[in-house]
């Protein structure tokens, strides 16, 4: 039986217990997503995600980003008929997430077309692909398929914000909790093996990455930007954190972890690379984390990036969903960064 420690304080069965049907609250949603990076940096899936929301339960939304070395990017964003969930599958159309073993193993499959372009087009705001909006019919579409099995590499980093956990919070703390989601959320680094088919060719791959599963209500009206990073390293160490820009009084949400020698250590970011530069690759996104271990510095440089300029999903802010080459005490790996900032705080570099 799985240990409670591996579940991050959540009930051991919770990760595999999908919502059985349309929730009464139209704002209630179940979401699953992955950030996947080919172990040598050849390509990345810098967020493949599905949102199952009560208000539109018959047609789940999914978004899929793909980035390849050299600047090629692909993106799918659409609503599609919901797949039956009675066999532990959360899915719609050509995307499915299947829980094989809660908190241990998941399988993700994709078989669809994606719009095909380059990172420079995204930065110039000429590659806008969002569900429920008009998409330029001149954009090329390319079939893409993958099938990957994920094995979790670290315990769950969880946010348990169910109603009974909110007592005693200040109003500001409750607002920030809502931005993370009123409900529960689990995040875990993983190692994966799978197959990718594109341009008529199929290749096997090994990967590392980060996966998320949540059930929550998430009011985004007060969203003011964020920085979120995570990775797992060859020796098994891992880290992750998410922080929002401080308010005028300095208060904010800033929480994370370091996983080392088989133990989770709660951490707080003290050097945070909020989004300021819009550039295809090479931005310094090094981070420093404070924990009972002291100060941990992890160097990072962006690669395999995607951008969503004026993203309607984050209150019209510029949004980066990207890979990063991280280095920690001489070890290197690929991992994720997601960050968003108002357009006036960003500059297009180079």
Distance of CA 83 to the CA centre of its chain: 22
* CA–CA distances in Å: residue 293 to residues 165, 233, 263: 28, 17, 11
Token look-up 């080459």 returns 325
Question: For position 170, what pLDDT does the model report?
Answer: 84
Structure tokens at 205: 């791959």
Please name the residue ranges forming H helices in 104-260: 119-123, 171-180
CA distance 127 to 133: 12
Cβ atoms 29, 61 nearer than 8 A: no
Residues in the chain, how many? 350
What's the CA gap between 150 and 88, in Å, rounded?
A: 15
Cβ-contact 316, 309 below 8 angstroms: no
Half-sphere exposure of 233 toward its Cβ, with a 13 Å CA cutoff?
A: 19
Q: Which one-letter DSSP state was computed for residue 173?
A: H
Q: Convert the pLDDT of each residue in 181-207 to its tens digit.
A: 889 999 999 999 999 999 999 999 999
Q: Is the dihedral of CA 329, 333, 338, 344 positive or negative?
A: positive
Looking up tokens 């997601």, which residue turns up? 338
DSSP, res 269: E
pLDDT tens digits along 216-252: 998 888 889 999 999 999 999 999 999 999 988 888 9
C-alpha span between 322 and 81 (Å, rounded):
28
Within a 10 A sphere around the Cβ of 162, how many other Cβ atoms? Answer: 13
* Residue written as token pair 């090629």: 72
Nearest to 61 by CA among 43, 36, 81, 45: 81
Whether the per-residue pLDDT at 85 is higher than 70: the answer is: no
- Write out pLDDT tens, residues 99-148: 999 999 999 999 999 999 999 999 999 999 999 899 999 999 999 999 99
> What percent of the chain shows pLDDT beyond 90?
84
User: pTM for this one?
Assistant: 0.95
Question: Most confidently modeled of 78-92, 150-164, 283-297?
Answer: 283-297
First to last CA, the chain: 53
Beta-bridge mates of residue 44:
37, 67
Distance between CA 48 and CA 69 in Å, rounded? 18
Q: What DSSP state is assigned to residue 162?
A: -
Q: Tell me whether residue 76 is exposed, middle or buried, using C-beta atoms within 10 angstroms of its C-beta: 0 to 12, 13 to 18, 19 or more.
A: buried
């Amino acid at each position: 039986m799985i240990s409670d420690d591996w579940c991050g304080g959540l009930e051991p069965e919770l990760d595999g217990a999908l919502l059985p049907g349309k929730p009464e609250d139209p704002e209630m949603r179940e979401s699953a997503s992955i950030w996947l990076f080919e172990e040598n940096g050849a390509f990345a899936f810098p967020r493949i995600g599905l949102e199952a929301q009560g208000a539109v339960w018959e047609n789940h939304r999914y978004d899929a980003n793909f980035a390849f070395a050299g600047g090629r990017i692909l993106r799918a964003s659409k609503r599609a008929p919901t797949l039956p969930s009675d066999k532990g599958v959360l899915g719609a159309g050509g995307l499915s997430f299947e829980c094989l073993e809660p908190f241990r193993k998941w399988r993700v499959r994709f078989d669809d077309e994606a719009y095909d372009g380059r990172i420079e087009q995204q930065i110039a705001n000429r590659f806008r692909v969002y569900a429920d909006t008009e998409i330029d019919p001149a954009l090329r579409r390319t079939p893409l398929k993958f099938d990957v099995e994920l094995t979790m590499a670290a315990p769950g980093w969880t946010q348990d914000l169910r109603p009974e956990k909110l007592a005693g919070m200040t109003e500001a703390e409750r607002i920030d909790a809502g931005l993370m989601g009123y409900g529960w959320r689990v995040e875990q680094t993983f190692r994966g093996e799978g197959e990718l088919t594109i341009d008529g060719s199929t290749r096997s791959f090994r990967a590392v990455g980060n996966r998320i599963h949540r059930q929550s209500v998430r009011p985004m009206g007060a969203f003011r930007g964020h920085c979120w990073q995570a990775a797992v390293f060859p020796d098994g160490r891992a880290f992750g954190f998410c922080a929002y820009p401080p308010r005028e009084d300095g208060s904010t949400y800033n929480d994370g972890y370091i996983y080392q020698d088989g133990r989770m250590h709660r951490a707080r970011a003290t050097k945070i690379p909020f989004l300021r530069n819009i550039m295809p690759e090479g931005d310094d996104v090094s981070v420093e984390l404070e924990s009972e271990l002291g100060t941990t510095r992890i160097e990072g440089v962006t690669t395999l990036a995607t951008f969503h300029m004026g993203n309607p999903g984050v209150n019209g802010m510029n949004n980066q969903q990207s890979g990063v080459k991280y280095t920690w005490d001489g070890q290197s790996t690929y991992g994720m960064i997601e960050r968003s900032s108002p357009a006036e705080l960003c500059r297009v570099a180079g």
